[in-house]
Structure 1
Amino acid sequence: MLDVPAKPAARFITFEGGEGVGKSTQVKRLLVRLNRMDIEAVRTREPGGTPKAEAVRAFILQGRSESWGPGAEAVLFAAARYDHVSSLIAPSLKSGKWVISDRFHDSTRAYQGLTGGVNDKLIQGLEELALDGHQPDLTFVLDMDPSTAFARVESRELEKALAQTGDRFEKEDLEWHRRLRQAFLAIAKANPDRCVVLPASQSEDSLEEEIWDTLTRRYPELAERKAG
């Protein structure tokens, strides 16, 4: 009788980085790849992922909280994250499903904390409350020069205008995005066991393969399974 590789344990994988680096594309590709290997996985995003969190997302990204300042935005993100974790992430992991998220708590650290100037104690306190111990197992930080990433963002402007879903963070100037890039790199450097920085300027196919290679090195049981 042939030995059937054991089903890999549920993992929580997050993708981080600045605007236009291709996180959403790689989240989709990883989800497809896992499903082909008969591994149940849930795709989600932040802010968002649940009805309540999506309502907070719309409020923030439409610029309605901008006048409140980054501190208040950090609180709003934490409220959305609390519901996201308790209603979707924790139950999915408990049921044995992988969770693949386009952004998570590192984005609050980078945007509102290191770039926005919000006190680190407030960021940490909100993080402890919202995560309730659900730290990602692995975080891919997709890195790209902001001027290159801006070109990608601009190519989506017409589509966004038609959909009326503008993102206020994409409207910040280039210097702000350069600081944001350094913030993500600093977070990765401070968390080397969890974070892996990958160049996002390479082709989508090459980046997908590098992500998969990283996952199979980290979790060898993945390499033992065959796509269906």
Structure 2
Amino acid sequence: MFITFEGIEGTGKTTQIGMLKEYLESKGREVLLTREPGGSRVGTELRKMLLHVESKDLTSLAELFLYLADRAQHVAQIVRPALEEGKVVICDRFADSTVVYQGYGRGLDPKMLHELNEIAVDGTWPQLTLLLDLDADTGLRRAMTRNMQDGTSQAEGRFEAEHISFHNRIREGYLTWAALKKERFKVADASGTPEEVFEKVRHFVDQRLEEA
């Protein structure tokens, strides 16, 4: 099974992904954790360009095609081989991030972005996408605190440096896109404790595994 996590900055995706990995492994499943951008060797280099604050001069189209290049390599080299081996693949961000960030956030056509994603993923779509929803003010505050603690404010802080209006558009974009793709998306309120949020995540994952 291929599971992806989405959400604005600071929703706690990394924490929930770690908890889900432990839970699934306790059930005897082999799990691969990965992320976008940066899940492959090539993607690691692309991630540096995409997230560093000094890359603020990237045009919207240049940003888009770097993400698509990262995704095409990631799917071919990491995601698809792991799925073929029978692993559960959990990915921190995937194709929906491009539709929302470059579409609802940057103003590019979401329909065009989805069509380009279709090429990049080459048929490999998640069976379940978990959207962790949180108000933009809280999420951005959490993300900036995390980056300061980790020492990544420069290396991975380009999106956190965007104006709050951008983050509000991203949140609304995610909710709009999730409503359009409700057969795959499940939305979880991320305002509670990690344990409270995980109870919702676990429920959605167990439900989808039973269906499968």
**What TM-score do the two structures reach when normalised by structure 1?**
0.88
Q: Which amino acid aligns with 1:74?
A: L
Q: Is the 8 A contact 2:37 2:71 kept in 1?
A: yes
Q: Structure 1 CA distance, aligned partners of 2:85 and 2:202?
A: 23
Partner of 1:33: 23
Q: What residue ranges of structure 1 are gaps of 5+ in the alignment?
A: 1-10, 223-228
Q: Structure 2 CA distance, aligned partners of 1:163 and 1:218?
A: 36
Q: Is the 8 A contact 1:40 1:97 kept in 2?
A: yes
- Using the TM superposition, give the Cα deviation of residue 118 of structure 1 relative to its aligned residue in structure 2, in angstroms: 1.5
Q: What residue ranges of structure 2 are gaps of 5+ in the alignment?
A: none
CA-based RMSD of the aligned residues comes to 1.7
Q: Which amino acid aligns with 2:187?
A: V
Q: Which amino acid aligns with 1:30?
A: L
Q: Is the 8 A contact 1:52 1:83 kept in 2?
A: yes
Q: Which amino acid aligns with 1:205?
A: E
CA shift in 2, pair 1:45/1:189, >3 Å? same
Q: Is the 8 A contact 1:17 1:143 kept in 2?
A: yes
Q: Structure 2 CA distance, aligned partners of 1:131 and 1:88?
A: 12
Q: Is the 8 A contact 2:100 2:110 kept in 1?
A: no
Residues 49-101 of structure 1, C-alpha deviations (whole Å, 9 max, x = no match): 11101110111101454323111111110000000000000000001001000
Q: Are 1:193 and 2:177 counterparts? A: no
Q: Is the 8 A contact 1:139 1:196 kept in 2?
A: yes
CA shift in 2, pair 1:21/1:162, >3 Å? closer
- Using the TM superposition, give the Cα deviation of residue 165 of structure 1 relative to its aligned residue in structure 2, in angstroms: 2.3
Partner of 2:52: 62
Q: Which amino acid aligns with 1:143?
A: D
Partner of 1:183: 173
Moved over 6 A (4+): none
Q: Which amino acid aligns with 1:177?
A: H
Residues 143-175 of structure 1, C-alpha deviations (whole Å, 9 max, x = no match): 001111122123224234368523200111111
CA shift in 2, pair 1:162/1:45, >3 Å? closer
Partner of 2:136: 146
Choose the corresponding residue for 2:201, options 177, 200, 211: 211
Q: Is the 8 A contact 2:4 2:94 kept in 1?
A: yes
Q: Which amino acid aligns with 1:84?
A: H
Q: Structure 1 CA distance, aligned partners of 2:175 and 2:22?
A: 28
Q: Which amino acid aligns with 2:8?
A: G
CA shift in 2, pair 1:71/1:213, >3 Å? same
Q: Which amino acid aligns with 1:148?
A: T
Q: Is the 8 A contact 1:31 1:41 kept in 2?
A: yes
Q: Is the 8 A contact 2:48 2:156 kept in 1?
A: no
- Using the TM superposition, give the Cα deviation of residue 121 of structure 1 relative to its aligned residue in structure 2, in angstroms: 4.8
Q: Is the 8 A contact 1:19 1:153 kept in 2?
A: yes
Q: Structure 1 CA distance, aligned partners of 2:98 and 2:153?
A: 25
Q: Is the 8 A contact 2:53 2:154 kept in 1?
A: no
CA shift in 2, pair 1:128/1:162, >3 Å? closer
Q: How many residues are matched?
A: 212
Partner of 1:13: 3
Partner of 2:114: 124
Q: Which amino acid aligns with 2:44?
A: E
**What TM-score do the two structures reach when normalised by structure 2?**
0.94
Q: Is the 8 A contact 2:5 2:131 kept in 1?
A: yes
Q: Once the two structures are aligned, what percentage of the paired residues are identical?
A: 37
Q: Is the 8 A contact 2:147 2:153 kept in 1?
A: no
Q: Structure 2 CA distance, aligned partners of 1:194 and 1:221?
A: 12
Q: Is the 8 A contact 1:47 1:53 kept in 2?
A: yes
